[in-house]
Structure 1
Amino acid sequence: MVNFTPSKEIHLRDYQANAIDGLRAGIRGGKRRLILCAGTGAGKTLTAAHLLKEADRKGSYALFIVDRVALVGQTSAVFDEYGIDHGIIQGINERWRPRENVQVCSAQTLAKRTLPRDPDLIIVDEVHCQYKATLDYIDRNPQAIKIGLTATPFTKGMGEHWDDVINVIPTRRLIEQGHLAEPKIYVAKSPEDADLGLNSYGEFSDGSASTAGIQIIGDVVQEWEGKTSEHFGGPAKTIVFSPTVEHGRELCAAFNAAGYNFQQISYLDRDDSERAEKIAEFRRPDSLITGLVSCGVLTKGFDVPDVAVGISCKPYRKSLSSHMQEIGRVMRGHADVPKKLWLCHSGNVERFALDMFDVWENGAGPLDHSTKQDSTPRERNEQVREKVVCPECSGAMRGHSCMSCGWEKPARSGIVAVEGELQEFSMADTMQPRAGLRADCIKDPRKVWEGALAYTSENTRKGEIVARKWAAGIWRGVYPSAKLPFGWFDMPIPNGVDHGALSLVEREVKRFRKNKRRAA
């Protein structure tokens, strides 16, 4: 097929260009397997397109591997848009042109095909999925540079296959810059954890989630009708995530009975063309389909920016990545849909909100830390609910305010009673410094943070994100048992700081380097 539409130029945002510089620095340092980590909307595919266009210009053979057949066409369309000549390796495809320098590959098909050249560059989309066929293919091509793309590098074992992670930009910054829309999150009726069984991996089993979830399908439809009427004046384009095909079928029946056209797509669809037709219709601005109910299909990489509502009906016990991938499907910005909603009927917001907001604020962190995020069961109890659910509207709390209605928790009194005396409450009372520190500034943790941030910003050449993470490490060295307060990580870099705090930070850096040399 010949495309006569003029191709667009790739214009990288500053943070995308910095990410590419980070990749190149890692490669120069001998690392050949690097993960590029950035949230939904950061432009991972566009950044990869730039790398592929450069590879094509140099005559290198480059592969872009996706794990879903549905994503082959979506990726190919993006590459066409930017004038990247490419072939497609996926089943029987009319675009089978294996001698093109750039190839879009289905992971399943690639494992069965012989290519005319060994690849120089392999880019793996949604790399956290860790398919054996893809990992084996990577191992068979040690000469190639490998770059993995993901918003959630949390899968256990990723550290065994990848050398390092380049964190691009936190989700909170993307929201503030207008690249993403932060959804209003509502915690609705969901099955009790006691009604959910576990599978062999320690996750909630799909069968038990389906059985328990079917009991509240009426509540799902009613909640959706109420919230879309309140926020949009009527029905709005929706994606629903269900645990099983049976549950999805019941959901569709309930929505259709209420007069709304909801269609199911799943891994059990008879053929790819049927699913593709539904997705193509759903993408239309005037789509006849109000909602798609997905069972194991649209969790990752599926982007329809004018989707207004997401409904979570599939509960997770450990998988922060699955929860974040799903909510990411409704965070794409769109001029005609400035408001987005997330309706949680799974309990996932209560389990994962605190961790999710931390990743949104601070990024995924180093690989050895991030890969533990999907291995820990989350508790869902009254203490957690009090922190994350607004008592006024059942919206999600971020810090002390509700993301949906704006309600704020009453301010904590600045005075506490101790043995009949009134004493002023101080942040330092809850943030104990490391034993042996005696600097006056440690009584004011914020001064120490500002000193650390000013010092690292002045003394690193690796960019602002690295400076902030370095500062967080210094601050944790001073207050090892405390967590950096909400909002501090992204505060503006201070111009003037406390000299005592700056001196403390310099001593801490020297101490760390001395201990490191001694350990070596």
Structure 2
Amino acid sequence: MLLPVEAKKFSLRDYQIDVRSQVYDYYRCGIKSVLVYAPTGAGKTAIASKFIADAISKGRRVLFCVHRVRLVKQTQKTLLKHFGIESGIIWADYPIDYEKPVQIAMLQTLQHRELPPDIGLVIVDEAHTSAYYKICRSIFDTYSGGIWALSKCFFVGLSASPWRSKTTEGFCQFFGAIARAPYPQQLIESGYLCRARQFGYNGLIDYSKLDVSSLGDYTLKSMQRVCTPQLNDEVVEKYLELCPQRKAIAFCASVNQSQDLAAKFSALGITSAYIVADTPEEERVTIFEKFASGEIQIITSVCVLCEGFDEPSVEAVILARPTRSRALLVQMCGRGLRLHPSKEDCWLVDFCENISRMGFPTNRYPTPLCPTFKRSEELDDWFKECPNCHAIVPKPSRICPNCGYVFPLSENSDIEPEELPPFGEIFSLGQKRQAKYYRKLIVWAFKEEKPRLVVEEKFTEKYNYNAPPEWAQYAVFNNQSRLINYNQQIYLRYLLRQPQSINGKVTAWTVEMMQLEFGERVDCQLKRWWEIFQEDKPFNSKEEMDDCYKLKVEYYQYQTFAHDLLALLNLAYDEGLKYYLDVTQKAKAKIEILYSLKDKPKALAAAYLTSSSIEKQIIENSINTELKEKIDSAIVHHWDSIPVA
């Protein structure tokens, strides 16, 4: 039933409008079932409510399927408040009213009931889980008439985490296409979610004691071996050291762990409560209300808070259990990212190395409909823990963006040539050995900073002929695209130091060598270190460079091409360090000259004014007051006759 008088004005955000358009475009193309990816906090309920309102306006009846109680009431409230649409409830002892145009159904209840008639739109919430309920397949078959491609009913799946723990499972058997909202970091940058900060404590559990179930995640029994009272002691201790004032939710592996953790916090004066599957609904409501008001500071749970819990005042998420599921990790961490006036960010505190193994939950990850057959942790080995503040940062980071800790330099892994690229040439065994030898020489020359001419000389000396240029194709970097911009810049720098690149300039030879390594469309433009920092000129001080570096690490780590961006940033940082070392040495030498010229005003003024701005800054911070006064006086009297740098 429509109640337009009571409906309040409602409008979608730009990206929500785009998602809606994507879905309708698929429908117009004949695809009847679409999965919508929208991260936690992106407004899945708002998007779904708009789909429902659209369907009702076209005379279509709607079935909205959920598997969490809170989602039933949340959706019913949104529909009535913003669209004036009353809905029937199919759950527990609620009276059935199939006359209402919208039916909000608990899947667990619906499997024991008769399906409502004449449904024209089915929406399945939390589809990454719900789609695998047996009743869900029955719903699709019933309303499609058994042939989904010819269905007169349309289907939408909603998910903030469209990944399955089992690598052989996907969603292409349920949905023909996927519509995507912005990923979490994009929503953070757009101001729709709060900023996340990650902290990790590694080595607290023994992964050798964990077993993997047939569903792809760790078994409950094996998690109970490692999620012990001793681990809870560590959780409490570290939480009190790190963020004792923050409102937090904690995810545990078992009911016993959840109860024990809540008890330990309460014993230390931090008001806590636990919610598990058997917690009565009235008690849950009371706990949620007290948490929202601040009477309760910490809620511990097992999986109850993973879906449908949307309290925005959460300031910290405690991960006190391991998981192999990216979907679960994203769901747990997403509970803390909603905006709230009382907070600027949310701290994700991981005691089980989940983020280190699987990546930041705010990152952009592939969202394929079909199985990937790869584990989440196999896709990336990208993070390390700051030993000073325990922040989780990308492995390439030279400086911790959280506390400023400087990581010791580590050696780069060796570059080894792989199998020969497909030249289109058929090699004899002898030719294959020669081509591999030539390619190894090229790698050796690059790593050891040897002239490229030496490569040709050594090959000719051994085999009495010149190697074909094609044998050098992709020799150094094996046509790897992950670090393409970084590789191009370091290789270009190497080539510009060769005599064939006359006076360090790009020549036809330079371009030829770059094209052999990277292909015809290679970028042969040298980027100076401050240009990589996106600056017009060098920073005024090393401290300014350090600050900029930390900000860029914090930003780049969430980007799609983070590996390449950070490798390039580290190249710029290393060159910047060398630059400031050279400037400092020059400034020290200039200071000695200034002291020697203190009684020769014109020469003194000239020596100072021909210094660079950074050298002047170092000089001014190092010389005594007497010399400063003499320099100032000399400049005033001899300004017109002195060349200025």
**How high is the TM-score relative to the length of structure 1?**
0.74
Question: Match of 2:233?
Answer: 218
Aligned-pair CA distance for 1:211: 2.8
In 2, Cα distance between equivalents of 1:408 and 1:74: 47
Q: Does 1:37 align with 2:34?
A: no
Aligned-pair CA distance for 1:159: 1.4
In 2, Cα distance between equivalents of 1:484 and 1:393: 23
CA 1:445–1:372 in 2, change beyond 3 Å: closer, same or farther? farther
In 1, Cα distance between equivalents of 2:77 and 2:257: 33
- Paired residue secondary structure (2:8): coil
Structure 2 counterpart of 1:159, one-letter code: C
CA 1:260–1:168 in 2, change beyond 3 Å: closer, same or farther? same
Question: Match of 1:441?
Answer: 522
Structure 1 counterpart of 2:39, one-letter code: G
Question: Match of 1:50?
Answer: 50
Deviations 1:234-254 (A, max 9, x none): 2x3211111111111111121
Greater shift after overlay, 433-442 or 157-166? Answer: 433-442
Deviations 1:134-170 (A, max 9, x none): 2221222113211001122112231122111111212
Higher helix share: 2
Question: Match of 1:247?
Answer: 257
Question: Match of 1:305?
Answer: 312
Question: Match of 1:502?
Answer: none
Aligned-pair CA distance for 1:200: 3.5
Aligned-pair CA distance for 1:436: 10
CA 1:329–1:402 in 2, change beyond 3 Å: closer, same or farther? farther
Percent identity between the two aligned chains: 26
Matches within 5 A, 1:325-364: 325-353=331-359, 356=361, 358-359=363-364, 364=366
Aligned-pair CA distance for 1:418: 3.5
CA 1:62–1:487 in 2, change beyond 3 Å: closer, same or farther? farther
- Paired residue secondary structure (2:227): helix
Question: Match of 2:289?
Answer: 280
In 2, Cα distance between equivalents of 1:325 and 1:445: 43
- Paired residue secondary structure (2:522): helix
Aligned-pair CA distance for 1:4: 12
Question: Match of 1:419?
Answer: 448
Question: Match of 1:512?
Answer: none
In 2, Cα distance between equivalents of 1:348 and 1:167: 25
Question: Match of 2:154?
Answer: 145
In 1, Cα distance between equivalents of 2:127 and 2:53: 21
Q: Does 1:261 align with 2:233?
A: no
- Paired residue secondary structure (2:345): coil
CA 1:223–1:438 in 2, change beyond 3 Å: closer, same or farther? closer
Q: Are the equivalent residues in 2 in contact too, given 1:98–1:115 (CA < 8 A)?
A: no
Unpaired runs of 5+ residues, structure 1, are 447-475, 477-481, 489-520
Structure 2 counterpart of 1:227, one-letter code: L
Q: Does 1:315 align with 2:355?
A: no
Matches within 5 A, 1:51-90: 51-82=51-82, 83-90=84-91
Matches within 5 A, 1:382-393: 384=381, 387-393=383-389
Aligned-pair CA distance for 1:84: 2.8
Aligned-pair CA distance for 1:420: 5.4
In 2, Cα distance between equivalents of 1:243 and 1:76: 32
Deviations 1:491-517 (A, max 9, x none): xxxxxxxxxxxxxxxxxxxxxxxxxxx
- Paired residue secondary structure (1:378): helix
CA 1:98–1:483 in 2, change beyond 3 Å: closer, same or farther? same
CA 1:27–1:486 in 2, change beyond 3 Å: closer, same or farther? farther
Question: Match of 1:25?
Answer: 25
Q: Are the equivalent residues in 1 in contact too, given 2:247–2:298 (CA < 8 A)?
A: yes
Q: Are the equivalent residues in 1 in contact too, given 2:69–2:106 (CA < 8 A)?
A: yes
Greater shift after overlay, 34-43 or 76-85? Answer: 76-85
In 1, Cα distance between equivalents of 2:356 and 2:517: 39
Aligned-pair CA distance for 1:433: 9.8
In 1, Cα distance between equivalents of 2:3 and 2:209: 54
Q: Are the equivalent residues in 2 in contact too, given 1:353–1:388 (CA < 8 A)?
A: no
Question: Match of 1:209?
Answer: 223
Aligned-pair CA distance for 1:208: 2.3
- Paired positions, count: 432
Q: Does 1:395 align with 2:391?
A: yes
In 1, Cα distance between equivalents of 2:98 and 2:58: 17
- Paired residue secondary structure (1:340): strand
Q: Are the equivalent residues in 2 in contact too, given 1:39–1:171 (CA < 8 A)?
A: yes
In 2, Cα distance between equivalents of 1:444 and 1:305: 47
CA 1:445–1:242 in 2, change beyond 3 Å: closer, same or farther? farther
In 1, Cα distance between equivalents of 2:256 and 2:140: 37
Question: Match of 1:185?
Answer: 198
Greater shift after overlay, 302-311 or 253-262? Answer: 253-262
Deviations 1:92-133 (A, max 9, x none): 126x43211112211111222225522100111110002222
Aligned-pair CA distance for 1:337: 1.6
In 2, Cα distance between equivalents of 1:295 and 1:136: 30
Q: Are the equivalent residues in 2 in contact too, given 1:428–1:444 (CA < 8 A)?
A: no
Q: Are the equivalent residues in 2 in contact too, given 1:204–1:316 (CA < 8 A)?
A: yes
Aligned-pair CA distance for 1:372: 2.5
Deviations 1:65-107 (A, max 9, x none): 111123212222222331332121111126x432111122111
Q: Does 1:428 align with 2:426?
A: no
Aligned-pair CA distance for 1:410: 7.6
Aligned-pair CA distance for 1:403: 5.7
Structure 1 counterpart of 2:283, one-letter code: E
Q: Are the equivalent residues in 2 in contact too, given 1:34–1:162 (CA < 8 A)?
A: yes
Question: Match of 1:154?
Answer: 163
Q: Are the equivalent residues in 1 in contact too, given 2:326–2:376 (CA < 8 A)?
A: no
CA 1:192–1:430 in 2, change beyond 3 Å: closer, same or farther? farther
Structure 1 counterpart of 2:353, one-letter code: G
CA 1:196–1:30 in 2, change beyond 3 Å: closer, same or farther? same
Question: Match of 2:555?
Answer: none
Deviations 1:293-335 (A, max 9, x none): 1112111231100111110112113x11111111000011111
Question: Match of 2:377?
Answer: 378
In 2, Cα distance between equivalents of 1:196 and 1:127: 28
Q: Are the equivalent residues in 2 in contact too, given 1:428–1:445 (CA < 8 A)?
A: no
**Bigger CA radius of gyration:** 2
Aligned-pair CA distance for 1:343: 0.9
Q: Are the equivalent residues in 2 in contact too, given 1:99–1:116 (CA < 8 A)?
A: no
Q: Are the equivalent residues in 2 in contact too, given 1:299–1:322 (CA < 8 A)?
A: yes
- Paired residue secondary structure (1:174): helix
Structure 1 counterpart of 2:120, one-letter code: D
Question: Match of 1:514?
Answer: none
In 1, Cα distance between equivalents of 2:451 and 2:102: 71
Residue number among 144, 164, 173 corresponding to 2:177 in the alignment: 164
CA 1:404–1:429 in 2, change beyond 3 Å: closer, same or farther? closer
Question: Match of 1:119?
Answer: 119
- Paired residue secondary structure (1:254): helix
Greater shift after overlay, 435-444 or 183-192? Answer: 435-444
In 1, Cα distance between equivalents of 2:389 and 2:450: 38
Aligned-pair CA distance for 1:226: 1.8
Structure 2 counterpart of 1:161, one-letter code: F
CA 1:366–1:213 in 2, change beyond 3 Å: closer, same or farther? closer
In 1, Cα distance between equivalents of 2:369 and 2:525: 31
Aligned-pair CA distance for 1:409: 5.8
Question: Match of 1:405?
Answer: 403
CA 1:309–1:420 in 2, change beyond 3 Å: closer, same or farther? closer
Q: Are the equivalent residues in 2 in contact too, given 1:10–1:46 (CA < 8 A)?
A: no
- Paired residue secondary structure (1:311): strand
